Amino acid sequence: MSNQTLFTPYTLGDLTLSNRVVLAPLTRNRAGAGFVPSEFATTYYSQRASAGLLISEATQVSRQGQGYQDTPGIYTPAQIDGWRQVTDAVHAKGGKIFLQLWHVGRVSHVDLQENGAAPVAPSALRAATKVFVNDRFEDVSQPRALETSELPGIVSDFRQAAANAMAAGFDGVEIHGANGYLLDQFLRDSANLRTDAYGGSIENRARLLLEVTAAVVDEIGANRTGVRLSPVSPANGVSSSDPQAQFDYVAEQLDALGVVYLHVVEGATGGPRDVAPFDFGALRQRFKNTYIANNGYDLDLATSQLAEDQADLIAFGRPFIGNPDLVERLKHGAPLSAFNPATLYGGGAAGYIDYPTLAESSVSAS
């Protein structure tokens, strides 16, 4: 099958995407005062609007949900206004964009929490990971276990954040249930030792994710709601003794809720794809709507997976950092530019919006 399959239009719910390339969420730590997206973010996303679908960087649904410095929120009027600048710019270029909704749970630090409070988690277990805070990477703080009575508030925060995202002009939202953050922490039995209705069995550990998803679907519609999962990724110190059973169940329940897509990190986030045994094909069979495949994809792998109907859309993350015109480069088999790892997190325009397109590179070289 031709490579052009990646570049054909695709119908996602009631949206028509110009191609099957997705910009994966990429944390860049460049929000301004009040955790408002900066003017640089408007340029950054509009530069990449040729992707069929853009998914924003992870965006906290509340102050409690923050785990890294200078990440944007979606819970104040100023944040909504800031994101409106981004969505207007993307739409002006014919793009479509979803906002990723995020609560980090235990992957946080007291210096990021209001009044120096402890981060929250399913259980009072400290994660084996670091966060970017005080302009450096530091060990996470000891969390406290959420009371059962607090969980409806978490659900409400996600619901309100989804409503705010639509007010900011997004085409939909992606619920972040991956990478060892709060909703994933509840799913994993390494992080969730609860004995209430949110712990123990596969069904109980999935309860919070499914309640959040149901609330968001009720608020903005299933056609505007996607979910991201990472079944075997050890990101941020999580693991599961039963990943296939756990995530097959989750996929079935998300299918029943009718969400428009499932965005799956296949393997270790940003690492090897074969980190642990898992049948992603079985997961795909349990979810009837759009399946977005993510992790370590290049043109050849994307082409083969689409040809074999193993995915509907392909998400690219880090290749988009140094290549704002990644779609064009892939289409023409052009070389990809490397990104500067020193400017990944924090800073200003440098290493964020100053990577040239292929056309700009050709002009400067002539």
Q: Which amino acid is at 206?
A: A
Q: Are residues 322 and 44 in contact, defined by beta-carbon separation less than 8 angstroms?
A: no
Sign of CA dihedral 55, 176, 161, 140: negative
Which residues, at least 6 apart from 341, have a Cβ–Cβ distance to it below 8 Å?
none
What b/e sequence results for 341-354 when a residue is b if at least 16 CB atoms lie within 10 Å of its CB, and e otherwise? Answer: eebbbbeeeebbbe
What stretches of 236-366 adopt beta strand conformation (E)?
261-265, 290-294, 313-316
> CB neighbours of 330 closer than 8 A, spacing ≥ 6?
6, 7, 21, 299
Residue 39 φ/ψ region, left for φ over 0, alpha for ψ in the -120 to 50 degree band, beta for the rest:
alpha
Q: Which of 138, 157, 160 is nearest to 146 (CA)?
A: 157
Q: Quick check: is 181 catalytic?
A: yes
Cβ neighbours for 118, distance < 8 A, ≥ 6 positions apart = 110, 141, 142, 143, 144
Nearest to 135 by CA among 73, 59, 68: 68
DSSP output for 51-113: SSEEEEEEEESSGGG--STT--BSSSHHHHHHHHHHHHHHHHTT--EEEEEE--TTS--GGGS
What distances in angstroms separate CA 204 from CA 122, 174, 196, one per listed residue? Answer: 12, 22, 8
Distance CA 122, CA 105 (A): 8
Cβ-Cβ contacts under 8 Å for 310 (sequence gap 6 or more): 280, 281, 284, 293
Question: Which residue among 45, 68, 181, 261 is the active-site one?
Answer: 181
Closest CA to 76 of 161, 182, 175, 183: 161
Dmax of the chain from CA atoms?
Answer: 67
Catalytic positions, please? Answer: 181
